[in-house]
Copies of this chain bind each other. A is one copy, B any other.
Amino acid sequence: MVRVGLNAERLAQAGAELADEVGFEQVTVSALARRFDVKVASLYSHVRNSHDLKTRIALLALRELADRAADVLAGRAGKDALTALANVYRDYAREHPGRYAAAQFRLDPEAAAASDGARHAQMTRAVLRGYDLTEPDQTHAVRLLGSVFHGYVSLEMGGGFSHSAPDSDVTWTRTLDALDALLRNWPAPEA
């Protein structure tokens, strides 16, 4: 009975790796126990249940994403910052599809509050400092950017844009052009 040295953090880390390999949906307490060559029940000393495990993986992914975003935003502004932030999401999803799916996991209010969700909003807001938007338009724009980033990446990952021309990379570039143009020329509310 050699101890493997499990703890919640290592489980979340390993769960994230497992998610990238087999998909977040397939991450299971059993599968994780197998990976550590340990009996299933042993994991329940470290995570409350399956939902708790998934929540921890989601929090890990959100933190990693926020860290990457903070990294690339340093020293950038305007369209440069917009593009960098957008690519953080897209690249992360490509490198870590399971983790990206985890980041979409519906968190209950307390987990959401303890998550890096607010950091993400804050960083999008930082990008918008490069554009001339007044509150509450800035909030609208934060939500729009979040929608486009998330929507585009998840449709692209789902294969929505494969098998049709033009290449998705081109659309991505043009989408960022379009968003930049839109933010520079944000319309007033219509009648």
- Using a CB–CB cutoff of 8 Å, the interface residues on chain A facing chain B are 104, 106, 112, 117, 136-137, 139-140, 143-144, 146-152, 154-155, 158-161, 164-166, 168, 170-171, 173-175, 177-178, 180-182, 185-187, 189-190
Complex contact B177–A189 (CB within 8 A): yes
Complex contact B158–A147 (CB within 8 A): no
How far is the CB of A157 from the nearest CB of chain B, in Å? 9
Copies in the complex: 2
How far is the CB of A106 from the nearest CB of chain B, in Å? 6
Complex contact B155–A171 (CB within 8 A): no
Complex contact B139–A171 (CB within 8 A): yes
Chain B residue at minimal CB-CB distance from A117 = B160
Given contacts A152-B151, A166-B139, A173-B189, A160 and B146 within 8 Å (CB-CB): yes
In the bound assembly, the distance between CA atoms of A174 and B161 in angstroms comes to 27
Chain B residue at minimal CB-CB distance from A160 = B146
B-chain residues with CB within 8 Å of residue A178 when the two chains form the complex: 140, 144, 182, 186-187
In the bound assembly, the distance between CA atoms of A165 and B139 in angstroms comes to 8
Given contacts A181-B182, A187-B181, A175 and B140 within 8 Å (CB-CB): yes
